Amino acid sequence: MANQTVIFELFRPYGITSGNLSDLNNIIKGKTGGQIFTRTHRILKNRNEIIINGLSGNENGVTEIFSIRELRKIPLIRSVSKRSVTSTFTIPSDPSTACLDFQKISFPIKIRKWKPGDYFYPLGMDSRKKLSDYFTDRKFSRIAKEDAWIMESAGHIVWIIGERIDNRFRITGSTREALIIKIKNPL
């Protein structure tokens, strides 16, 4: 009984009531993927951890960007620049920075959440991979998958933002201009 009281007190700030305490216990003792929603939060079992995140409004919208200037106004973008690719050009290895072949980008660019069936060609690979498989391989939690943002150009995924670019948009020997995008906080 003492454990029930401790669990209740720990989770009460996240909207747990005595009425859904037994459901919470089932989530804690259950398998990965179990979840419970309170009025204010979602509580999720992911492997050996419990993840709590607040519920907010609709974050599934698609933003269309028609220029580099508009791209700079996206809240998660820290900076955007276009640079000539010369023999001294160095590609950053930081996943919070995308270095893309500008000639392969078509406006409008879309920033959106990923959806089932999405695929891309991960940097360094010539074969396509479903994003769901990529997320599983990288051990993304359910919440991390839901929070993943995608940059799309002409119907093709350009970048899993903060993770990996698509091989088709990489800098090559024939690239003349690079579009360099840095996000504010790595995801």
Model confidence at 55: pLDDT above 80? no
Is residue 59 over pLDDT 60?
no
Span 107-128, pLDDT tens digits: 999 999 999 999 999 999 999 9
Range name among 44-48, 153-157, 165-169, 177-181 with the lowest pLDDT average: 44-48
The pTM score is 0.70
Q: How much is the pLDDT for 58?
A: 43
Q: Which residues contact 124 (CB under 8 A, 6 or more apart)?
A: 167
- Specify the 3-state DSSP secondary structure of 92: coil
How would you class 18 by CB atoms within 10 Å of its CB: exposed for 0-12, middle for 13-18, buried for 19 or more?
exposed
Query: Is the pLDDT score of 87 beyond 50?
Result: yes
What pLDDT, on the 0 to 100 scale, is given for residue 70? 86
147 membership: H or E segment, kind and range: helix 142-147
Is residue 2 scored above 70 in pLDDT?
Answer: no
pLDDT in tens, 140-161: 988 888 889 999 999 999 999 9
Tens digit of pLDDT for each residue in 61-78?
788 889 998 888 888 889
